[in-house]
């Protein structure tokens, strides 16, 4: 699978390792937010329960608020 390579700021480069399926934890109430079972239902319906990705750091560095984030092919 041809994953894109995320980059943040001037130095940080990441590698997408795998898709990240979500579990029932996504439906639990969080501070200030109610329980919402539709979160998991929606990811199942539209994206095979995939709601994230797992990344590895290929080149580290400092990330600052306002840094650009982009994807390299």
Residue 3 CB neighbours (<10 A) = 14
pTM for this prediction: 0.65
Q: Tell me the HSE value of 13 on the side-chain side, using a 13 A CA sphere.
A: 7
Question: Going residue by residue through the chain (73 aa), what tens digit of pLDDT does each one get?
Answer: 456 799 999 999 999 999 888 888 888 898 999 999 898 899 889 989 898 889 999 999 999 999 999 987 7
- Report which of 71, 56, 54 is spatially closest to residue 18, judged by C-alpha positions: 54
Per domain, the residue ranges of the chain are 5-72
CA dihedral for 1, 4, 51, 41, sign (positive or negative): negative
């Amino acid at each position: 699978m041809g994953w894109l390579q995320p980059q943040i700021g001037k130095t940080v480069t990441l590698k997408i390792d795998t898709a990240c399926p979500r579990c029932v934890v996504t439906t639990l109430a969080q501070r200030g937010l109610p329980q919402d079972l539709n979160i998991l239902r929606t990811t199942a319906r539209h994206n095979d329960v995939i709601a994230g990705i797992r990344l590895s750091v290929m080149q580290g560095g400092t990330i600052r608020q306002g840094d650009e984030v982009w994807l390299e092919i």
